[in-house]
Amino acid sequence: MSQQRKIVVIGGSAAGPKAASRARRMDLRADITIIQMENDLSMASCGFPYYVGGVFDEREKLICTPTGVIRDPNFFKNAKDIKALTNTEALSIDRSGKTVIYKDLKTGVEGTISYDKLIIATGATPRMPPVKGLDLDGITTLQSLKDADYLRKVRDEGKIKKAVVVGGGLIGLETCEALQLAGIEITVIEMMPQILMFLDWQLAKILENNIRNWATNVVTNNAVTEFLGTDGKLTGVKLANGTELPCELAVVAIGVKPLVELAEKADIRIGSTGGIDVDEFMQTSDPDIYAIGDCIEIPNLISGKKVLAPYGDLANLEGRVAGENAATKNVARFPGTLQTGVCKVFNYQAGTTGLSEAKAKEAGFDPIGVVTASPDKPGFMGGLLVISKMIADRKTGKIIGFQCLGPGDVSKQVAQAAVAVKGGMTVDDMVNADLPYAPPFTLAIDPLIAISHALQNKMRGLFTGISTVDVKKKLDNGEEPFILDMRGPGEYDTMRLGIGEVLMPLGALRKRENELPEDKDTEIICYCKISLRGYEAARYLQSIGYTDVKVMEGGIMAWPYPREK
C-alpha cells in the first residue's frame, strides 16, 4: 500500500471544510488537517443577517448540522476523521520543505505540520474606508460570527435608534434589512451612483426607491469621509458633501479583500485582481498547493476575465474540486463563474447572472438588451411584479446576462436564466422553452419566456425600444416626442407619469387616428403599465405609416423617477 497522503487545509469557514470533507471521501486513508484561526468551524455566514434580524433566534443553527450536531473539532474527528485545529493561525508556508508553521492562539505555542498537498482557503477580510474615526466604538462589519453576536446584542438590547450602513452591495442591503427588523432607523450610504453595481442603473434605482418605502434612507454618489465620536463612541458620520448624519452604529460593508498574505509570502502567484491565481483544477502556481474560496480569482465564464467572486455557493463548489484533486490527482474542474447573485431586501428580491449591459460592452460584446415587467403568476393567484432585463450578444444570439428585481419570485427567474447562460443557450432557444406551468407557480408564458419573446422581437426589428432613462433624457433635453399612454382611463386616474403623454386606450387607437400627429415622421413613444399594449400600439402605428415609433420598455413599472401620480 502506498504511503498515507497528508493533506492540510488552511481555513475552516466554508471552502476549507468542504474541501477537507471531499478529500476524505475520495481518500479514506489520508491524514487530513484543517487549520482554522477562529473558534468555530463551517459557520453558515450567509445566515448572519437573518440571525441579527431575528428571523431565527437559535445561534447554534449557524454552527450545527441540520440535525443539530455542532460542527466542532469533535464532529470532524468522529464523523469524518478530519483533525481540526481551531484558534490556530497558519504563520507561514515552507514550499520547499512542504510544511506549514502555525501557532495555537490560545497557548501561543508554535508547531509545524507537513503536507503532501496543501489547500489554501484563507478567505477575505472586509475593506474599510480610509477615513478618520475608524476605531470608535459602534463601528463594525458583518463578516464574522463575532460581528453577528455583536449586532444581535444590539438588536436584543434595543437601545440603538439610528445606524448607517456603509455600502449598498449585497451584504450592505441584507444588513440594512436586518437592522430595520431590529427596529433601527437606517441610512444606506453608497459611494457609487447606484446600489448593487451588478444591476444596470435603471433597475438599481427602482430597487432604491422601494427601499425608501421601508423607513430607510438611501444616499448614493456620496461617501463617508469621517466617523464622528465623543468619548470614543460613534455619534455620527460625515459625508463627502458635508452632511453630518447622527448615528450610534455604523456597519461597514464596502466589499472584501482576498486574504493572500500567506500565499504571497510563499511566492505563490497572485493575480491582477489581488486574488490567488488558480487554474480550473484550483491549483496555484505551486502544483502541490490548491486555493479556493474568497481568497482566489476565477474566470467570469462570459467575459473570460479573472474576477473576485466571494460567494458562499462558489466556495463550496471550489472546495469540492480542490478536495478531490488534492486527494487523488487533477480530475475535477471548476470552470468559472457567472457571478450569479441574489438578495432579499424587504419585500423585494434582486438578482443577476452573467454580465450587465455595461459590463458586456466593457468585455467587447455588442450587446442588445430589453427590459420587461410582468407579474410572476396570474392575477387571480396573487401574482407579484418582476422587472427583468435580458442581455444577448448580437453576434451569436446567446444570452449573456440577466437581471431581475421586484416583489415577485425573482430568485426563480434568475435561477432559470443562470442555467440558460451556463448552457450557452440563445434567445431563440429560450423562446420555446418548456417550463413547468401551473397557475400557483407561474404564467402560461413564464416571464423568462416572455422576455425572450420581447428580445427576439427587438433583435428582428419588430419594434424599436427606448428605455425609461432615455425617455427622461429626451424630456430633460427639451425634446418633444409625441407620447402615448395606451391604458384605460381608470388606470390613468390611479397612476400616471405626467410627462406630457396623451391617454389613448389601445381599444380606441384605431378610432382616434385623427388625434395622432399629421407628420408621419414624428417621434412617437408608446407605453402602458408594462408596455405590452404599448407594443401592440407601436406595431399598429408602424403599419399606418409612422416611421419613428418607439416602445418604452417595461412601461410605467420600469420608470425609476417620481411620477405625477
Element counts in the chain: helices (H) and strands (E): 15, 31
**Rounded distance between C-alpha atoms, residue 442 and residue 361, angstroms:** 32
**Shortest reach from residue 309's CB to a second copy, in Å:** 9
Position 435 contacts a second copy (CB under 8 A): yes
Build a one-symbol-per-residue string for 347-376: x at contacts with a second copy by CB under 8 A, - elsewhere. --x-xxx---------------------x-
**CB within 8 A of 297, min separation 6: which ones?**
258, 271, 272, 273, 274, 275, 276, 277, 278, 306, 307, 308
In the chain, the amino acid numbered 564 is E
Build a one-symbol-per-residue string for 33-52: x at contacts with a second copy by CB under 8 A, - elsewhere. -----------x-xx--xx-
Q: Where are the alpha helices (DSSP H) in 295-405?
A: 312-327, 357-362
**Shortest reach from residue 305's CB to a second copy, in Å:** 15
Per CB under 8 A, the list member of 129, 169, 293, 341 interacting with a second copy is 341
**Rounded distance between C-alpha atoms, residue 232 and residue 252, angstroms:** 18
Identify which of residues 473 and 512 has a Cβ nearer to a second copy in the complex.
512
Identify which of residues 188 and 557 has a Cβ nearer to a second copy in the complex.
557
Strands 523-527 and 399-406 turn out to be unpaired
Q: Are 136 and 230 in contact (CB under 8 A)?
A: no
Site for a second copy in 305-324 (CB under 8 A): 311-317, 320-321
Position 155 contacts a second copy (CB under 8 A): no
Per CB under 8 A, the list member of 23, 93, 449, 483 interacting with a second copy is 449
Build a one-symbol-per-residue string for 453-472: x at contacts with a second copy by CB under 8 A, - elsewhere. x--------x----------
Site for a second copy in 370-429 (CB under 8 A): 375, 378-381, 409, 411-412, 414-416, 418-420, 422-425, 429
**CB within 8 A of 508, min separation 6: which ones?**
none
Position 304 contacts a second copy (CB under 8 A): no
**Rounded distance between C-alpha atoms, residue 204 and residue 210, angstroms:** 10
**Rounded distance between C-alpha atoms, residue 386 and residue 414, angstroms:** 11
Please give the full DSSP string across 53-119, using - where no structure is assigned: TTS---GGGGTB-TTS-B-SHHHHHHHH--EEE-SEEEEEEETTTTEEEEEETTT--EEEEE-SEEE
Site for a second copy in 49-78 (CB under 8 A): 50-51, 55-56, 58, 61-62, 66-67, 69, 75, 78
Binding segment for a second copy among 109-117, 126-134, 193-201, 344-352 (CB under 8 A)?
Answer: 344-352
Site for a second copy in 96-115 (CB under 8 A): none
Position 527 contacts a second copy (CB under 8 A): no
How many residues bind a second copy, per CB under 8 A? 105
Position 529 contacts a second copy (CB under 8 A): yes
